[in-house]
Structure 1
Amino acid sequence: MHSDKIQISNLTLVNSPSWNIHPVYSSNIIVQGITILAPVKSPNTDGINPDSCTNMRIEDNYIVSGDDCVAVKSGWDEYGIKYGMPTSHLIIRRLTCISPYSAAIALGSEMSGGIQDVRAEDITAINTESGVRIKTGVGRGGFVKDVYVKGMTLHTMKWVFWMTGNYGSHADTHWDPNALPEIKGINYRDVVAENVSMAARLEGISGDPFTGICMSNLTISMAKKAKKYPWTCTDVYGITSGVQPPPCQLLPDQGPEKTEMCTFPTDSLAIDNIEMQRCSYRLNY
């Protein structure tokens, strides 16, 4: 907590009773080459949880978990709103995840301080409930915006994409029913998924829709016993191109020539310019 210049690398973490790696209110963090192993039915054994952190790089990690492999957070309800420290400028790359009951990458549900500028690429998930999940609800406040995901390879999923504005758990009874979250600027591109029960479950909030959703170049192969309707969409708005199976009407297709439309930033973040330091130790007998 409240730390700067953190490097965690080349470790194997086994059977944690709860979250494994959880930096809070910190900056300039690299988590690289980590193996995390938890029983897939163990609750709350999240892999890596950036929480109100800025400038963080998560790369080349292998996670087997009973919960989200990477869960991005920034405070819960009125407490996160008051503290107001977003998680921002986060890179997630070359992640391999197995989590049959949760997501490869989750944003929320504790996102009341805000989440912005998340860049995820080269993600592989196998037998994982969802590829990317956004969790929020009335009373959360805050925002999730400017999220960029490209290059996902997914095998055996319940949902490829899941967004919900109905995540109703609260820290206590003091949450503000007028604190509505802002979800906008969510970009997904270049995704291949197979053996999928449902392409997407997208549920915004009535009167507070999720906007600016962009999906392009997505090929989703449905399982033999897939749901009758591959998409469900309520209170969400955006555009799509080159998406199969065809998306819901709230995400109209812009035509095959627009498959490059969902942006992924080309600029470098400051954390990408920091090299992992090598450390050593010596035993004195």
Structure 2
Amino acid sequence: MAFGSEMSGGISEILLEDLFLHESHLGIEVKTARGRGGYIQNIFLSDVAMENVGTGMKATAYFDTHPDDDFDPTALPVVSNITFKDVIGTNISIAGNFTGLPESPFTSIFLSDILFSVLPDPTIPQWVCYAVIGFSSNVFPEPCPELQSPISIAIM
């Protein structure tokens, strides 16, 4: 399940519930890139089950290259207020990868009641985080520090 890529206008006010994903490279993905502009905000995902998935949750501001050489590199995407709640997964390679832009970090990313059975491989990180601010509660494996901010900071 993916949100984004071509989103110069924006994506908002999405509710996704009761989803089962299996045998997939990605579970849930939010994707955008520099030059796209627009926003992805106010997304609520709950009651999601995954089985045999590469990366359980991914949000990236580095999706692909822009198809037009004349794109505006100052058109930065805004990604905020994304909630993942009641998510379980078995045989997951990477729990989460949240990678924003330094000049437009992802904000208000909320993770709640998430349990992933991550495949044991010391060469693969369980979480990848960069330019993201969020809050988590009852998440296993424990997310990166960027997703453990006090809720007052995460809502910025």
**Do both share a fold (TM > 0.5)?**
yes
Q: Does 1:113 align with 2:9?
A: yes
User: Residue 236 of structure 1 corresponds to which residue in structure 2?
Assistant: 132
Question: 1:253 and 1:154, CA in 2 relative to 1: closer, same or farther beyond 3 A?
Answer: farther
Deviation readout 1:67-105 (Å, 9 max, x if unpaired): xxxxxxxxxxxxxxxxxxxxxxxxxxxxxxxxxxxxxx1
Separation of aligned partners in 2, 1:173 and 1:140: 13
Question: Equivalent of 1:126, from 22, 25, 40?
Answer: 22
Separation of aligned partners in 2, 1:176 and 1:107: 22
Moved over 6 A (4+): none
User: Residue 167 of structure 1 corresponds to which residue in structure 2?
Assistant: 63
Q: Does 1:221 align with 2:122?
A: no
Aligned partner of 2:127: which letter? W
Name the structure where strand makes up a greater proportion of residues.
2
Question: 1:226 and 1:195, CA in 2 relative to 1: closer, same or farther beyond 3 A?
Answer: farther
Deviation readout 1:54-79 (Å, 9 max, x if unpaired): xxxxxxxxxxxxxxxxxxxxxxxxxx
User: Residue 179 of structure 1 corresponds to which residue in structure 2?
Assistant: 75
TM-score by length of 1: 0.51
Percent identity of the aligned residues?
A: 33
Unaligned runs of 5+ in 1: 1-104, 255-285
User: Residue 156 of structure 1 corresponds to which residue in structure 2?
Assistant: 52
Q: How does 1:67-86 map to 2 (within 5 A)?
A: none
Separation of aligned partners in 2, 1:227 and 1:160: 17
| Contact 1:112-1:142 within 8 A present in 2 as well | yes
Question: Equivalent of 2:95, from 175, 191, 199?
Answer: 199
Separation of aligned partners in 2, 1:133 and 1:145: 13
Deviation readout 1:16-39 (Å, 9 max, x if unpaired): xxxxxxxxxxxxxxxxxxxxxxxx
Separation of aligned partners in 2, 1:229 and 1:177: 30
Unaligned runs of 5+ in 2: 151-156
TM-score by length of 2: 0.91
CA RMSD of aligned residues (A): 1.4
